[in-house]
Amino acid sequence: MIVNDYGGAQSTLTPGTISHAQAVVDEIRAAGGEAEADGEMVGTGESARLIVEHALDAFGRVDILINNAGGSLIGDPDAFTDEEIEGVLRTNFIGPYMLLRRVWPLMRGQGFGRIVNVMSSAVLGAGHLGPYAAGKAGLLGLTHDAAFDGRPHNILVNGIFPTGASRLTETSHEDLARWYRTHFQPEKVSALIAYLSSEQLDFCGEVFNVGGGRVARLAIFDNDGLFDPAITPESIAANIDLIRDLSKPTMIPTLWAQTERYFVHIPWTGGKAGLF
């Protein structure tokens, strides 16, 4: 196992230390496992190349990728510099994408791979977390799309929205940090990651809330809504309650499932489904 942690500040811009990764490696080795520490800062294609090469040099192959890199800034949407925003996006989205891209041909060639993308419920909106939420939302889209491409090669891609104690939660006020430490130990998240990384796994493209002993699938839904071939702003206004009503939701797991929702009203004449 390669344990990567650049060990810097949560802003992702401050130089770090390999000591955090090394501490985890020491625990793994003490328990009888094999691991090496890596201090590359996730966020570029070059960093991804070096991390993957480290894994290949140490272990000869890559079977599992856990995209757990993250960092955040707190403030209004206009509170940050361009450099700060770009740094958070690199760590939370660009870096994980580059790592997925680097391991993909290895996993495809060996006919096996498990990828778990660690996202955040900040995607759903909390306020003051714009760059972080945007980066993790990008990872959500990547998870769903890569799952399509990976399934034929036994590369199963899934994701989680974790709630767990971490270095980030330790920067919160003491009562909140204590609550996380008491109820949301990291191992209550890693249990699901271990399952999603296992050979017995037989699904992909799914996302789960996990923390504190709770695990639940998270999904996107819509409703039947309004169909009006002569739609206008006025007809939308007149039917806005119907449009917003989610009392009878339908799960929308894929782009194609969303497209099929139109077929009730509009015949398909777009050629073979699944092609652009």
What is the pLDDT, as a whole number, of residue 12? 61
Looking at residue 166, what is its pLDDT? 87
For 116, the 3-state DSSP assignment is: strand
Higher-confidence residue: 13 or 167? 167
Q: What are the residue ranges spanned by the domains of the chain?
A: 2-218, 221-264
**Does residue 173 or residue 149 have the better pLDDT?**
149
Per-residue model confidence (pLDDT) at position 168: 78
Is the pLDDT score of 275 beyond 60? no
What pLDDT does residue 6 have? 86
Share of the chain above pLDDT 70, in %: 96
pLDDT digits (tens, 9 = 90+) for 27-63: 999 999 999 999 999 999 999 999 999 999 999 999 9
Give yes or no: 132 in active site. yes
Q: In this model, does residue 158 exceed pLDDT 60?
A: yes
Res. 68: pLDDT tops 90: yes
Q: For 205-246, what is each residue's pLDDT tens digit?
A: 999 999 999 999 999 999 999 999 999 999 999 999 999 999
What's the mean pLDDT in 239-258?
Answer: 96
List Cβ neighbours of 91 (8 Å cut-off, separation of 6 or more): 12, 41, 42, 43, 69, 70, 71, 135
Span 2-218 CATH architecture: 3-Layer(aba) Sandwich (3.40)
Q: What pLDDT is attached to residue 169?
A: 82
Band of pLDDT at residue 186, cut at 50, 70 and 90: very high
Q: Please say if the pLDDT value at position 274 is more than 60.
A: no
Tokens of 16: 């770090």
The pLDDT tens digits of the residues spanning 86-132 come to: 999 999 999 999 999 999 999 999 999 999 999 999 999 999 999 99
- Looking at every residue in the chain, the average pLDDT score rounds to 94
Q: H-helix or E-strand containing 61?
A: none
The pLDDT value recorded for residue 167 is 81
Model confidence pTM above 0.75: yes
- DSSP codes joined into one string, 166-203: -TTGGGS-HHHHHHHHHH--THHHHHHHHHHTSTT---
| Arithmetic mean of pLDDT, 147-167 | 96
Give the span between the Cα atoms of 93 and 13, in whole angstroms: 15
The answer to whether the CB of 216 falls within 8 A of the CB of 209 is yes
Q: Which of 6, 132, 195, 262 is catalytic?
A: 132
